Each structure stands twice: as C-alpha cells, then as structure tokens.
Copies of this chain bind each other. A is one copy, B any other.
Amino acid sequence: MTTSPPIADWQELAKSKRDSVFAKIPKAWLLPFSQTSQYTETSTLSVLDVPRTCGILTEKELDITENHDATELVNMMSMGDLKSVEVVTAFCKRAAIAQQCVNCLTEIMFDEAMARARECDEFLEMEGKVMGPLHGLPISLKDSFNVKGVQATIAFVSFISRPPSATNSVLVDILHSAGAVFYCKTNLPQTMMSADSHNNVFGRTLNPHNLSLTAGGSTGGEGALLAMRGSAMGVTTDIAGSNRIPALCCGISSIKPTASRIPFAGGVAPGRLGSPGSILPGIGPCGRSVRDHSLFLKTVLDAHPWLLDPHTLNTPWRTAEPFTKSLRFGLIRGCKERPLHPPIARALHTTATRLKAAGHTIVLLDEKIPDLYRSALLAFRYFLLDPKKTPLTHLQASGEPPVPSLQTCTFRELDGWEPSLDGLWDMNVERAGILQKYHGLMVGERLDAILMCGYQGIAPRHDTYGLPIYTVLQNLLNYPAGILTCGKASREADAAFVEEGRVYEPAYEPEACEGVPAHVQIVGKPMMDEELVEVMKVVERILKESE
C-alpha cells in the first residue's frame, strides 16, 4: 500500500496532461468546435468519413491512408514511389483528426516523427538502401510501451508526475531499427483490465462506427485509430483479449501470438511484477491485412529479440508455406451463458459455409470442449493473484475513482475471493486439464485452427461489454489467435439468426448494431504462429472474395 497522500487536485493534474497532449496538434489540423462538440459518447454518429470530408488531408494523403496496407506502403517507400515524410504527414494528420473525433491518443510525437521520417528518406537517398523492413512506416503504440523522452502514464493519475521514459521498450528499439516511425501512443482502460478504453486522465475512446459504442480494450485507442485509418500498423498487448477486443469492436484485424515470442521487456505494467500465474501476455500487431501482421512478426523475430529480452523464447520465425491443402477447422459456436448475438452467429455461419464451399472441413466442437464460462472464471482467478492488489494502489495514490467498466468486466462469482498459494496449485491442475482437452481435440481431430467468435456481439454500448469469455480462453491456453472482420450487422440479414427465448447478454439491440462490423476469431496452435498467419490468409481471402 502506498503511504503518500492522495492528490487533492487530481482532476486538474489530469486536465493539464490532456491539454498538453492536445496542444501538440497543429492548429491547421483542428476541426471546428461546432463539429467536435457533437462527438460525444451518447451520439450514434459514425465519424469514419470525417477525415475525407474535413478538407485537412490532400487527395494524395487520403490515398496514402485509405488505399494501401502497411506492406504496400513500405514497398512504395522502398521503391522511392513515396517519401516517408509524405506517409508520416498523412498519418499524423489523420491521427490528429481521429483524436478529435474518438479520443484515441495519449501521447503525440508528430514533431519527432517528422524528423525521423526525414532521416529515413535521407538514408534511402544517401545509402541507396532501406533502413529495414519497416522503412519509413508510421507505427502507433499502446501507451504502455516506453518511448525514450515520452511519458507512459498508462492513464494512472498517479503516474503523471513520473518523468518521461528514459529508455525504449525492447520492442520499440527493434521496430525503430527496422525503420519504423513513432508518431503517437494510444488510449487504454484504467488498470488495463476492462474492455472500455476509459480512464480519468485521457477520458474515453469512442467507436468510430457509432460513437455510442465501445471501441474495446485494453488497446481501444489502437482499434479506433486504425478504424479511422489514422494508423497503418498498431502495437498491442493481450492478456485477456486486449489485442483482439478492439479489433473486433472496430472492424480491423489483429493477431495475438504465442506468449514469449514477441518481447514484452521494458514496458510499463499496471500490476505488480513477478506474477506466479500461468497466463503470460502476448504482444502482437493490429492493422488492415494479415500480411501486415506477418511483416510485423517476421521483422521482430528476425531481429533476434531473445538477445534483448531474457524472457523471449529463442525461436526464430519459420516461414510457413502458403496452404494449398484442404484445412480442418474446429468450430465453437459459443456457450449458453453468453449466446451469440445474431450478427455474430451469422458471421460464423457465413465463414464456415464459405470455408466448406472452398473445400475445407468444419468439425463441430461445441459438445467436446470444457465449459467456456468456467474456463474464463479460472483465467480471471489468475488475474487476482496479487495479495497487494497493486493496480488499486495506483488509483489510491492519487485518489482518482475507479471507472465504471471495472465493475462490469468482472465475475460476480469472484466477489470477495482471495487468492492463496494452496489454491494456486489447484488452479494449475484445473488449467492443465483444460489444456489437455483442447490439445486432445487439436491433435485428435487433426485441426489446423479453431473458428469461433472473439465476442458474442458486435461492439456493445459503453460500459456494457462485460466478460471477455471468448478471448481470455486463448490466453489461458496460450494459443495464438487472431481477429478478422466479417461483414456488418444487418437487421434484415441477421433476423434469421435470432433465437426465440434467448437471453442475450448484453442486450441485443438490432438498431444500435446496424452497419457495425462483425468478426470471426481464428485460433491457432501454440508456437505455430507462422501457420496461424497462413490459415488467416486463407480465411481472409475467402471472406474478401465473397464481399
């Protein structure tokens, strides 16, 4: 427990932090107040078109940000068809606009980014070669990554008084060496343990598809920024779904790799170091295309991250061959406690149907897997193993109150539950049993992947996301998993998937859903991130072809 007194004027402190970030947006990129004042958490507006209609971006900048994935942008810069300065300018502008619409940023580094972009351009010109496989590419980072000279408050008021980071996170160093340009950091939930990216320092990130909906968490700032096309590639962490929840809420794509493959060292954590729990964070990208994820993962592993972080496994990136064979997918259609909302049931059904039509095999797993709700309950016990309740002490240190969603993203069954060392042994045995079951299915059914949802619905209203039953499973198992966007909620098309008498949690509201992206989740096999990428490419192609 902290002994320092609460901060009497914590609201002032938070405001001054927010203001200092906002002040870094060039005046020319500001939207009129008459416009931004409409962008509230109760509005149902979509703001996806604002960057195109606001007049701040040139046609070329609109093209740069809208019509190319990161892989293509890097290729164009490497060939000299685009300058990094042009690309970075375009994404800085668009990120600034996104910030004014959906409040997705925590730190702005536009000046540093422009200097770095010039450095990349000059390097290419002088040396006749690229900085690295991410040459000149603007990359956005979750606030928890350290960038030298920039704060990493992770939205705790009590962290605002900390000095700027003295060093980079290991991953930031690696991406920098590969030629990346850092231009902003993005918003997250208080304590990171909620699916609403909402906190007392930076406020709440809104969903660009419908501002009254959540952008997800904990990497919600990335999700919203990418949906606004204010980033080409974002970097996230995931211990219960933080990489995947924003992706599925915002209609983008992401991958959480097997833990310990991408380095976590040198970042800021909301909790205590030294967890004896069996769940480790997976660090992964979010973006627009699976090949971008592959570019990120290969680039990081080719840099031998195990030399820089003792907790990263020395397992080089294996280039998996694109699949030409027929694949075998397990299919999980959900659990009774959190039945799938019609748009997600349709997305899963559509995907499975198209995969079958393309010659792949679907194996129904619903009756064969351990209880999903109980598995998630076990996972959440691992998140409560700290007797010191460190994240709460960070709140108490300033006196700031908890945000509402902290209360909704928790199991009522665990109210008053206290961890014990003896109980932890039993938890590990329970986990081993669950692992054995899934492993048996993966091997016994010769599955290449599992197809399931990452959440029972599309992005729900703020503070109603509830429990991440369908994403925390892959953390409990330490299986890699990714999200692909799959169509959009449509009252008409979804009607066939409404089950009479079902109690949906949270409520299914067809009118709030309309036009908001649906998704599927693809779960791979542990350490086979390379193969998961290839499976996701197969699914991505099939979904795109039928769009």
Contact = CB atoms under 8 A, between A and B. Distances in A.
Interface string A194-225: 00000000000000000000000000000000
A425 B314 contact: no
Contacts of A277: 276
Contacts of A438: 310
Contact of A527 (B306, B307, B425): B306
Interface in A431-481: 432, 435-436, 438-439, 443
B428 A275 contact: yes
A427 interface: yes
Given A314-B525, A314-B527, A273 B443 contact: no
A369 to B, nearest CB: 14
A310 B439 contact: yes
A492 interface: no
Interface in A300-350: 306-308, 310-311, 313-315
Contact of A426 (B274, B428, B525): B274
B310 A385 contact: no
Given A421-B419, A422-B387, A276 B276 contact: yes
Given A310-B435, A436-B310, A274 B315 contact: no
Interface in A117-172: none
Contact of A274 (B274, B308, B427): B427
A424 interface: yes
A510 interface: no
Contact of A276 (B315, B428, B526): B428
A68 interface: no
Contacts of A54: none
Instruction: Tell me how many chains of this kind the complex includes.
Output: 2
B315 A527 contact: yes
Nearest to A478: B310
Contacts of A422: 387-388
Given A306-B527, A443-B307, A274 B314 contact: no
Contacts of A311: 432, 435
A140 to B, nearest CB: 29
B274 A432 contact: yes
B310 A387 contact: no
A420 interface: yes
A431 to B, nearest CB: 8
A311 B419 CA distance: 24
A387 B432 contact: no
Counting chain B CB atoms within 10 Å of each CB, which of A273, A274, A307 scores highest? A274
7 contacts: A273-B428, A274-B429, A276-B278, A276-B425, A307-B443, A314-B527, A387-B421
Interface of A: 272-278, 306-308, 310-311, 313-315, 385-388, 419-422, 424-429, 432, 435-436, 438-439, 443, 525-528
9 shortest interchain CB distances as A-B pairs: A274-B428, A310-B439, A314-B527, A274-B429, A274-B425, A421-B421, A276-B276, A276-B424, A387-B422
